[in-house]
Amino acid sequence: MADYTKYTNKEMQAITLAQQITNDNIAIVGTGLPLIGASVAKRLFAPKCNLIVESGLMDCSPIEVPRSVGDLRFMAHCGCQWPNIRFIGFEANEWLHDTDRLIAFIGGAQIDPYGNVNSTCIGDYHAPKTRFTGSGGANAIATFSNTIIMIQHEKRRFMQKIDYVTSPGWIDGPGGRERLGLPGNRGPQAVVTDRGILKFDEKTKRMYLAGYYETSSPEDVIENTGFDIDVSRAVKLDAPAPEVIRMIREEIDPGQAFIQVPKEEPAN
C-alpha cells in the first residue's frame, strides 16, 4: 500500500504554491509545478478561483495535469476558448480597471534580492554562455500583475546581480518600479523554492525567508543564497496532509509528468 505520509520537496513546493492562491484570484498559470499547485488550490484551498493560460483558455479546471497550454486536457474543462490576443486584452483590461484579482506564476534561471528574474541568458547578452527561451509573456505579466516566482534554491540562481532582467521585480527597492515607469502597486509577492518560501519586506522590498520545509533550515537557506538574507522571521512549515499527496499522485499527475515519485523500498 502506498505511503502518502512521505513526500518530496517538489510536492511540498507545489502545495506551497497552491496556498498562495485565494478564492478572489484569477491565476495565470503555465505547465509544470505551477499548474499542479493551481490544481491543488482549485480542489482544496480556493475552489472559487479561476485559472487562465496564455493560449487564451479561461476558467480552466483540468482533471489531469496537461503537458502544455494547448493540451486538450486544458480545453476540455474550461469556460472559454479565446485566441491568445483576447488573453492579452483581458490582462490589459484588468490593469486599466485597477483590479487586484490577477496573480501570475513565473520562473527563471536567476533572481536577485528584489525579485528581478532572468530567463534570457547566462553571461553577456551578446555573447552568452547559455541562451534560454526568454520572456514569452513573463515580462508583460511581471509588469502589470502581481507574481509568484518559482525557482530552485541554489546559490548560482540567487544572485546579488543577475546577468539580465527579463521580468521586473521591485527593481532596486522602494520607488524602483515607478522610476522606470512601471506600476508601483504591482510586483512579486513571494518566491517559492524547493527549500521554502520567501517574501518581500513591505518597506525595503527586499527578499526575506518567511518559511522553510522540514527538510531544510534557515542555515541551509543562507548557505544556498548568493546574497545576505534575513531569516529572523522564518517559521518551519507544516507537513502536507497525506490526502493532498494522494491527490497529486493519483489524480492530478498520475503519469508523473512533472513530479517523480520515489520508489518505495520492498518490505522485508
Q: Where are the domains of the chain?
A: 7-250
Is the backbone of residue 56 left (phi > 0), alpha (psi -120 to 50) or beta?
A: left
267, pLDDT greater than 60: no
Mean pLDDT for all residues in the chain: 92
Closest CA to 164 of 204, 207, 109: 109
Q: What are phi and psi of 74, to 5 degrees?
A: -75, -45
User: In this predicted model, what pLDDT tens digit does every residue of 254-265 receive, in sequence order?
Assistant: 989 889 988 776
What average pLDDT does this structure show over 198-222?
Answer: 98
- Please tell me the distance from the alpha carbon of residue 108 to that of residue 187, in angstroms, as a whole number: 16
Closest CA to 159 of 230, 109, 199: 109
The pLDDT value given to residue 250: 94
Strand segments (E) across the chain: 26-28, 50-52, 57-58, 80-81, 102-107, 110-111, 117-118, 121-124, 127-131, 146-150, 188-192, 196-200, 207-212, 235-236
Percent composition of the chain: helix, strand, coil (DSSP 3-state, to 5): 25, 20, 55
Residue 247's pLDDT band (boundaries 50, 70, 90)? very high
- Please tell me the distance from the alpha carbon of residue 173 to that of residue 188, in angstroms, as a whole number: 12
209, pLDDT greater than 90: yes
What average pLDDT does this structure show over 3-29?
Answer: 95
The pLDDT value given to residue 266: 60
What average pLDDT does this structure show over 156-167?
Answer: 97
The pLDDT value given to residue 153: 97
11 belongs to the catalytic site:
no
Per annotation, catalytic residue among 11, 54, 219, 250:
54
105 strand-pairing partners: 148
Name the pairing type of β-strands 235-236 and 207-212: parallel
The pLDDT value given to residue 268: 58
Residue 165's pLDDT band (boundaries 50, 70, 90)? very high
C-alpha cell, 104: 501570475
Contacts of residue 115, defined as CB under 8 A and 6 or more positions apart, other chains included, come to 147, 149, 169, 170, 187, 188, 191, 200, 205, 207
133, pLDDT greater than 90: no
The pLDDT > 70 percentage for the chain reads 98
User: In this predicted model, what pLDDT tens digit does every residue of 70-98 receive, in sequence order?
Assistant: 777 778 888 888 888 888 888 888 988 88
Does 3.40.1080.10 match the CATH number of domain 7-250? Answer: yes
